[in-house]
Amino acid sequence: MKEHAAFIRKFISGTLFVLFFGAMMLHAQRRPVEPVTPMSNTNTANASTHMNSNPSAQTVYVPQLKGATVHQLKDGHYIQKRADGGIRELHDAKHGMDIHHGLAGGMRVTVERKDHTRLVAEQGRPGYVERPYTYLGRDFARRNFYYQGKTYSSYYRGYRYNGIQMKVYAPYRYYSTAFYGWLFNVWGFVFVYDWDWADEAWVGFDRGYFIPSPNYSSASLWLTDYLLSSELAVAYEMRRVNGTLPTVAAAATTAPAITAEVKQKIANEIKAQIQLENYESKTIAQDKDLDAGPSSIAHAYGDGRTHVFVVGYPLDVVDTSGTECALTEGDVVQLSSPPNFNTASALVAVLASNGGKDCAKNSTVIMGLVDIQELQNRMRQTIDLGIAELREKQGKKGLPVIPAEALGTEVKARYTEFAPPAAPNDQADITQQLLQEASKAEVEMLASGSGK
């Protein structure tokens, strides 16, 4: 368990990114981890939609951006171009392939196969293969992420919301109620922590946006900085590799863009996620069916609380006027009013933004529900990694020692034991084949006539 958690932490924080892309001359985003990587990006109220023939597939949304054009090709193919003529989205109906060109650069490819396997590859980033399976008659999925010849897995529980098939994060292990109580409550003392990344390049670059708290009085506050620093480290490295890193760092200020108020909202969300995982742990301990409902955005929209998510992978979204903007790692968003019945999008408020092509702070944007769920998934996954680090490093570098009565033992979730194995060619498909096939399909579609 400890080795598994350590590997995932390195994967997300950027350490393995450096190793891998150092071997390729450079070093490199996206969603996952996540975690991460939803099937599509955004939609607007006037968005067109198509559904894969796989009944468990996620809906793909193509927003009607201001000034954008959609070219409908034969056999169900289409190409969407931005107002400047650049390609945003391509759909290859023959191969079940969707290709997205990010506003800030990079290409993401998603393929849904007839056997319901889903592949996601991203230019300069790790990818994953997702396979569905059932446990106690319920839908689950396992995502195998590939990087530098290694792999790790994350798990998801299927459910439907507003007529859309969704996947909610399902932890692979749980802890004792006493430990979750220790995580949730204020400790009654303050400690100073010596962060490993204090001298890394991204810290100076993002000093105008994020500064770690000088001390911590609870796990939720420490996990807030863990979460933000993990995402910002990845964002810095990915921008550097893709050539989109500004030449001049944001000037350091005495009032970072992420305010103490926003940090407290993140900490409150983390406490809510700790409560949620404690609730789930009781079900897991009894080897009962894991209900996706309380863990999902469907519950978040109906519980009467304010919910805040830290963005963990790039998303291209639109504001209420139809203007496109980007959300990148480390941005902070807040759920607004629930979506209308049977609609696939919702309004989201931007609480903190890291500049560039990112959506403006205090703006309101429209986001697909699948993407909102994936934001929550990614955040829960990264919180889990932070919790594992708290346990592993207790008593070191300023972290408090966990009381013996609260430490307890880890319990592995049974649903992880029923996941289908990876195929021998999965890694090659993700790291090589899929992007090559996408580039070829794109050339063929553009040459077909209507896409020129």
Tell me: the pLDDT tens digits for 126-161?
789 999 999 988 999 999 988 656 788 999 999 999
Question: Does a structural domain hold residue 290?
Answer: yes
What's the angle, vertex CA 12, arms to CA 244 and CA 280, rounded to 5? 135
**pTM, full prediction:** 0.83
Question: Does a structural domain hold residue 435?
Answer: yes
Domain housing 78 = 2-446
Residue with structure tokens 């504001």?
Answer: 319
Cβ atoms of 273 and 295 within 8 Å: the answer is: no
- The secondary structure of residue 250, as a DSSP letter, is P
What is the residue-wise DSSP string for 359-396? PPTT-EEEEEHHHHHHHHHHHHHHHHHHHHHHHHTTTS
The half-sphere exposure of 399 on its side-chain side, counting CA atoms within 13 A, is 23
Element (H, E) at 61: strand 60-62
Question: Does a structural domain hold residue 139?
Answer: yes
Q: How many domains does the chain have?
A: 1
Question: Does a structural domain hold residue 451?
Answer: no
Question: Does a structural domain hold residue 452?
Answer: no
> pLDDT digit string (tens) for 214-273?
999 999 999 999 999 999 998 888 778 777 777 655 444 445 789 999 999 999 999 999
Question: Does a structural domain hold residue 400?
Answer: yes
Question: Does a structural domain hold residue 202?
Answer: yes
Pairing of strands 97-101, 107-112: antiparallel
What's the angle, vertex CA 375, arms to CA 349 and CA 383, rounded to 5? 115
Q: Using the CB atoms, write b or e for 144-183: b if 16+ within 10 Å.
A: bbbbeeebbebbbbbbebbebbbbbbbbbbbbbebbbebb
The residue with greater pLDDT, 115 or 293, is: 115
pLDDT of residue 124: 62
> pLDDT digit string (tens) for 12-67?
444 333 323 232 222 222 332 222 222 333 333 234 333 333 434 445 455 568 88
Question: Does a structural domain hold residue 429?
Answer: yes
Three-state secondary structure call for residue 134? strand
